[in-house]
Amino acid sequence: MMLCWDDYPMTNVLKIGGMSCQNCARHVREALQGVPGVDYAEVDLDSGVARVKGNGVALGAMVEAVAGAGYTAAPQQAGNPAKQSFLLSWKFNVIFSLGVAAPLMAMEYLFHPAMHGWFGWFSFALVLPVQALCGWRFYKGAWEQLLVRQSNMDTLVSLGSTTAFALSFYGLLMPGRVHQLYFAEAAMILGLISLGHYMEARAGERAAGALEQLMRLAPQKALRIGPHGAEESVPLDALRHGDRVILSPGDQAPADGVILDGESAVDESMLTGESAPVEKSAGGKIYTGTVNRDGRLIVKVTGLGEETALSRIIEVVRRAQGSRASIQRIGDKVSNIFVPIVVLIAIGAALAYGLHGGWETGIINAAAILIVACPCAMGLATPAAIMAGTNAAAKRGILVRDGESLEKCGTITAVLFDKTGTLSEGKPRVEKFIALDGGESEARALARALAMPSKHPYSLAVAASLAEVAPAEITGWREERGQGVSAQWRGAPLFMGSINALRERNIPLAALPEMQGTVLGLVAGGKLIAGLALADPLKPRAADVVKRLRDSGLRLYLVSGDAATAVKPLAAAAGIAPENVFAEVKPEEKAGIVQRLQSERQRVAFVGDGINDAPALAQADLGIAVTQASDIAREAADILLLKADIEAIPQALGICRATLRTIKQNLFWAFFYNAAAIPLAATGILPPVACAAAMAVSDLFVIGNSLRLLL
């Protein structure tokens, strides 16, 4: 289960200043990801901390990039992020501002005190600290953006709240010039927008729940066997490579390792989503966080810390959450030009009313426009959905590389399966061994000698079926990719491989009887001396998976290097049409099959697991690697299935499609909301307080819609 996607050696932890919303966190993340050498960056709004991974990344370059985006950055000791003080938290903003605004508004609307008398000065005295303490985060963010000639939602909130407060103070000093004072409304604006941020942060914490669950899987201590055989409980950081640890029933594995002694069923559901425990014995692999169910195991530690499969999975999820889909550029472009346009609209509304004698109404409506038009929902639309979608996938043992991989799923029209280990079980067995012209014992000894050094599934099957046979003495053994295995025996060439490989070598096949399944031939000195028939049964749920994919409107194809006599019966059992089967295909030709389908305007997802599948996985519009895939195949894939069954494929495609659909819904809502709300604010239908509430509701709608993916 080793993963290659995120094998990065260096982590930098930075303290970020000036962020007020997830949109700000996105800007910081994108600025850091633009630094040469950065592989990916993640930014936590709640703690104000950024984690950056990459090779040879200069600290100064990162700080400069963040400053260029309008924020501050400074190094912080990794692993000990400082939490914000309560006075600087959104929770304090909510309690203080609403605690002041709500009583003032209740007194104002219930008792109708004289606005320009003692009540006006009383309101001013209470709201001034609110503007200073609760508004500070917005003012600071707006000022830092102004310094780099940019603007964001802090700009709009600061202008809107300050406009209401300044107009009220002017009216307090010049009685009769302003009919209504808006001190309570100014405080309420800050309170409601802070409430939106607070709820957004809490919702974000829930969206990150799967990642947190993964991080909590590793136990804090391990039972280690000392040099003299004594058992001792030690903290995880005391473990070293080669240490022996004991796993009793119910224990969680503290590290990756190999079983030295014992047998047990191991629950790997936390990593793979598979509910059924996996039987393990000596030589089997153990992964951090998995649970030993019923036997006592002695395990040799082979992976610690960031080397473990669990850590690499966590990094994959983090990387996906910090990524972006190309559809996000729509929201980015709109957000970048939106603020200046909104400011111009607000100025225009104020002038339109003011020139007709309604300066007070014009200024208040302008403040409402500034507040209601905050583009935060647009910035949240994509990252919120990606975070929820990747977490939902991770809970089910599906790792998604990034946001673009999620997006690709929405365009897939065809799925091309590799056969061995994907649709089939990948555990072939020899059904028949036929020796030609006698000499069966010698042929069996030669076949076993050729098969033993190879790790190919067919070689393993041959070696297992001839386990009782003493191997012949051969020399010069080598494996010929996609062909077979060869060696020298008594000075003559020896070869065992596929029928196609035999034809390419001009080996006469007339003596070979007709056999079902995958047929291998054994050749000695240029003469065919034996034939072997192998069967690789269909996975139990493969036919159901194919049906579900076909019912969803996808075209299904099967490709294999095996003979048509083996591939077509399996395809028929799975429910794939004969005309969609590609048999006797060389490994290097699989990518060409993908290209052929793409030339027919198909958007192809390729599902494979072997080293020879890597080119096809990379060529496909979407590459899906299954659980036992090689490291190279994993590196080329967009989606990695940790489950042992391909039943996860419809799940993976379904989650990705649902995530893309949610992104589109979020963007539509954000655009529609702003388009509808600005005219209402400009005409006075929505007062500033209602606009503040509407803006908070808009953000929460986007978050809530995204969280549905976790259900």
Report in angstroms the alpha-carbon separations of 608 from 36, 419, 597, 640: 33, 8, 16, 10
Burial classification of residue 145, based on how many CB atoms lie within 10 Å of its CB (0-12 exposed, 13-18 middle, 19 or more buried): buried
418 annotated active-site = yes
Residue 378: both structure tokens together: 């647009």
d(CA 354, CA 99): 34
- Does residue 197 contact residue 20 with C-beta atoms inside 8 Å? yes
432: its two tokens: 């028949």
How far is residue 123's CA from residue 187's CA, in Å, rounded to a whole number?
Answer: 10
Cβ atoms within 10 A of the Cβ of 92, count?
Answer: 17
Phi, psi of 284 (to 5 degrees): -75, 155
| Closest to 607 in 3D by CA, of 422, 396, 374, 441 | 422
For residue 350, what are the CA distances in angstroms to 130, 164, 354, 417?
A: 26, 13, 6, 63
The phi, psi pair for 630, rounded to 5°, reads: -70, 160
Cα(282)–Cα(258) distance, rounded to whole angstroms? 8
Q: Residue 659: which of 280, 405, 460, 472 has the closest Cα?
A: 405
Say if CB 16 and CB 72 are below 8 A apart: yes
Q: For residue 326, what are its two tokens?
A: 């190309």
The total number of residues shown for the chain amounts to 711
Q: How far apart are CA 587 and CA 407, in angstroms?
A: 28
Q: Which residues lie across from 259 on neighbouring strands? A: 299
d(CA 597, CA 608): 16
Which residue in the block uniquely carries the two structure tokens 């953000």?
A: 699
Tokens coding 71: 């924020």
Helix boundaries (H) for 208-246: 209-215
Tell me, what DSSP letter sits at residue 710?
G
Residue 8 contacts residue 54 (beta carbons within 8 Å): yes
CA angle at residue 166 from 674 to 90, to 5 degrees? Answer: 60
Q: Which residue has the tokens 């190919």?
A: 456
Of the candidates 418, 562, 609, 613, the residue annotated as catalytic is 418
Which of 63, 4, 9 is closest to 31 using CA atoms? 63
* Residue 510 neighbours by CB distance under 10 Å: 5
Phi, psi torsion values for 394, nearest 5 degrees? -60, -35
Residue with token string 């076949």: 447
Q: Give bridge partners of residue 451 from the DSSP assignment.
A: none
Q: What is the C-alpha separation between 571 and 575, in angstroms, rounded?
A: 6
Q: Which residues are part of the catalytic machinery?
A: 418
